[in-house]
Structure 1
Amino acid sequence: MELQYERVAGLDIGKATLTACVRTPGSRGRRRAETRTFSTMTRSLQVMRDWLLAEGVTVAAMESTSTYWKGAFYCLEEAMEVWLINAAHIKAFDRRKSDVRDAEWIAQLLEVGLLRPSFVPPPDIRRLRMLTRYRVQLMGDRTREITRLELMLEDASVKLSSVAASLTSVSARAMVGALIGGESDPRVLADLAKGKMRRKIPALTEALTGHFDAGHAQLARSMLARIAAVEAALTELNAVIAAAFEPWSHQLELLQTIPGVGEKVAQVIIAETGADMARFPSPEHLASWAGVAPGMHESAGRFHAIPPPHGNKWLTAMLVEAAGSVGRMKGANYLSAQHARLSGRRGAGRAQVAVAHSILVSAYWMLTRDEPYRDLGPDWLAKHNDEAHARRLVAQLERLGHTVTLDQPAA
């Protein structure tokens, strides 16, 4: 195959060691290969970088192995062009497996142009990613602890979660706190309800009748303490994130004009894509990279439905969450109409992925053109699908044996 790069390096990375293979021009038109093994400690990585520079390497490639690739990538990115390769692309080429062979194989594939680099954001965007991803993890910790509290209350036959919308509301926390304090009279506990919850006092009285004992109280006290600690950490982290996103305040304002996209969703879109749409050739490429593009499999002229491709799980999760909130708007805009139209035919799950795709495509063009969201209106789909709907109805009647003639309405 034709040579694309003359001086390349292939890196096979593990937790403790790194194997690097350098391929450069040799004598009589042949290729020279040299392989060395290094520690993944910072100083050893610097020695590896100096060796690659001394060999005149211009492009280095490595597999995205867990998080172990980050140290080597960050060490090399300022000195040369570095490619992070999807491991599935390497495995598509069958070969014998070892660390040395892996490094040599990556270098050989790289020099003939058979590898594609993955998107790795610049350092400032990587910091935003670290913050927003940690927030998602903290929110998950909070949700899991609330679930444990609910299960513990169920063990005590306290059905508070069946009446209260959330165990973290002011009323629910007051009731759980009173249970921990030793109050056992369900009428007294139900009377702690605040605001609209007071209308549910009879149901709360029944739900709070159980056998909550000292063991349950000890567990509940510990769970509430952990929930409070996580919420305090989230409050502090949100302030840090808000300060970190100040340089992208304009992009945040633009993205929040999309229905269903709040501040957190907009922050994740910027943190995961970098807000620079020039890195993606088209909105379709961006949607495929994120994992919200429709899967396609064509064989013998027939198309078969397959799941969407694997993509950026952090971005996909937030987009699907935003699509779910759009679906609850009940036909107030184009996206909610799209959700309602698809959920009836394909189910809520596919409808949310489709709306997430539309949100991401809108974000692509908004950030590219620097303009706010312009809604097409809830009737747009109906107006532009009337002819297709008429053709479907005609086809159904013809399958039943009828002859159909359509008269064009008078102008």
Structure 2
Amino acid sequence: MSKSTHSQSSCKTIVQNSPETVVSARYPSAIGVDVHAKLLVCAFQDGTSPSFIKTEIQNFGTTYSQLSAFAQWCKQCNPSIVVMESTGVLWRSVYAALEDVGFTAERLALVNARDVKAIIGRKTDREDAQRLAEIARLGNIKKSFVPSRPFREMRQLARRYQTITQDIASGTNVYHKLLNATGCRAGSVFSDVKGVVATAILEAKLDQAENFAEVVTKYSRRLKASAAEVLDALNFDIAPVVRQQLVLERNHLAAQKKFAEETFELLRQMQEPYEEHIRLLQSIPGIREKSARLIFAELSDDLAEHFADTEHFCSWLGICPGNKISAEKSYSGKPSKGNKWLRRVLIECAHGIALSKCELKEKFMVWKLRRGSLRAIVALAHYLARVIFSVLKNRTMFKLVAMTTQRDELVNRVQRNIKALKRTGCALHSSLLIEKSSGVIIGQIAE
């Protein structure tokens, strides 16, 4: 790749006259774009002629002026579809530039690099662009889900909020690790060292408050440990350098928490026109406001436009079992890769349901009996994904029908165990387990 291609566009037109190259295609013309950090390699294929295919290759940079020139060139070519292949977030500015000149979502397609990977030894930027144009004309592409621009901006904000909350959790662990290194044993007197009471007492200790004993007495009323036990656990000396480090960590955490609050407030403002959708999501047990807003930011206001049914939606999300069948043998059913941000929120909601007493916990308990806790969590997240699609598509509140699933599963287990006991020569009489051959009582079922 030469440096000159980054700064200015270059054009090469190739005309193929072989009649063998002309096949029946879904689209008469297409543009394939191979997106890089500093370069866009584009190939325009026009198959309207019955005898040959015209291929034009253009290189553009990624500066504002070059993106404008690229968008105008695409508009001038007037293709039936534009397909781009990109990793990361490099495609966003290219996609937006095409939207600005009038390309609609029906004429734009983003494909994953793994779906259009070149043969080893035959990979160049121009060949990649030509191959994208060819498969685009044939319609042999798997379009990635690209929501409208407001939802793309909303999604970017929601993902930033998720990363900053993870940073806060990591920073909090570092902060308490430093406290433990100094001899502080806050975990022995506080049930939650990240709670309001623990934070207030530890900050008073760190700030060398003169009325530290009074602060402990004031807040210890809300603790199981007495004030004397708290004072004894926090009776440690802090070296000046370590104290300064702890202050820096505390201030950094405070700044991160403020940033997270402002980010979430901005997300709430962006979602004001969609409050009805947020309320629908909150009607699902285990999904509260924060989770509902993070979930909705990854989707759109019309899921039926992008996904045919719940199966396609869960497959895109990567929360359903995958297929791996060869020679009529089924191998690992590991889920495929999908939207990790939305999947993470659903897994967190599933963990919350497992620890709560909400209506969906019965489903979790049944799956736990069958497959274990970890698989039950994923199964519950899959169920939540199906419910979310149905609720948003039909615009109806979630209503859970009374279930006896857990009871039925336990009854079936008992019946299977009784049959297994009979095969071993035992009988169940009332609540007694009796050996048939000798009549000896070998056990009793406690009520």
TM-score relative to the length of structure 2: 0.81
Q: Distance in 2 between matches of 1:393 and 1:9?
A: 64
1:247 paired residue number: 273
Q: Distance in 2 between matches of 1:64 and 1:103?
A: 11
**Cα distance, 1:4 vs. partner?**
1.8
| Higher CA-based Rg | 2
Q: Distance in 1 between matches of 2:169 and 2:240?
A: 24
User: Aligned AA for 1:6?
Assistant: P
How many aligned residue pairs are there? 400
1:23 paired residue number: 45
Extract unaligned runs of 5+ from structure 2: 1-22, 427-447
TM-score relative to the length of structure 1: 0.87
User: Aligned AA for 1:35?
Assistant: I
Contact 2:33 2:132 in 1 (8 A): yes
Q: 1:14 aligns with which of 36, 39, 55?
A: 36
Please say if 1:311 is aligned against 2:335.
no
User: Aligned AA for 2:85?
Assistant: E
2:111 paired residue number: 85
Contact 1:64 1:85 in 2 (8 A): yes
Please say if 1:64 is aligned against 2:86.
yes
Q: Write the deviation string for residues 25-59 of structure 1: whole angstroms up to 9, x where unpaired.
A: 37661212111110111221121122122222121
Please say if 1:297 is aligned against 2:324.
yes
- Report the more deviating stretch, 360-369 or 312-321: 360-369
2:435 paired residue number: none
Please say if 1:357 is aligned against 2:382.
yes
1:321 paired residue number: 348
Please say if 1:75 is aligned against 2:101.
no
Q: Secondary structure at the match of 1:251?
A: helix
Q: 2:183 aligns with which of 120, 142, 157?
A: 157
Q: How does 1:8-407 map to 2 (within 5 A)?
A: 8-25=30-47, 29-77=51-99, 78-80=102-104, 81-91=107-117, 96-182=122-208, 190-191=216-217, 193-197=219-223, 199-201=225-227, 203-278=229-304, 279-330=306-357, 332-333=358-359, 335-383=360-408, 396=420
Q: Secondary structure at the match of 2:286?
A: coil
Q: Write the deviation string for residues 228-255 of structure 1: whole angstroms up to 9, x where unpaired.
A: 1122222323322222212111111111
User: Aligned AA for 1:63?
Assistant: E
Extract unaligned runs of 5+ from structure 1: 403-411
Contact 2:186 2:234 in 1 (8 A): yes
User: Aligned AA for 1:347?
Assistant: G
Q: Write the deviation string for residues 177-229 of structure 1: whole angstroms up to 9, x where unpaired.
A: 23323369997785463442253545534432444221221011111111211
CA separation of 1:86/1:394 partners in 2, compared to 1, >3 Å: closer, same or farther?
Answer: farther
Query: Over the residues paired in the alignment, what is the CA RMSD in angstroms?
Result: 2.9
CA separation of 1:149/1:59 partners in 2, compared to 1, >3 Å: closer, same or farther?
Answer: same
Q: Secondary structure at the match of 2:32?
A: strand
- Report the more deviating stretch, 175-184 or 114-123: 175-184
Q: Secondary structure at the match of 2:28?
A: coil
Q: Secondary structure at the match of 1:366?
A: helix
Q: Distance in 1 between matches of 2:421 and 2:56?
A: 72
CA separation of 1:202/1:101 partners in 2, compared to 1, >3 Å: closer, same or farther?
Answer: farther
- Report the more deviating stretch, 32-41 or 126-135: 126-135
Contact 2:29 2:80 in 1 (8 A): yes
Q: Distance in 1 between matches of 2:388 and 2:256?
A: 31
CA separation of 1:251/1:203 partners in 2, compared to 1, >3 Å: closer, same or farther?
Answer: same
User: Aligned AA for 2:405?
Assistant: W
Q: Secondary structure at the match of 2:320?
A: coil
Q: Write the deviation string for residues 366-387 of structure 1: whole angstroms up to 9, x where unpaired.
A: 122221111133523544x589
Contact 1:19 1:38 in 2 (8 A): yes
Contact 2:365 2:406 in 1 (8 A): no
Contact 1:13 1:62 in 2 (8 A): yes
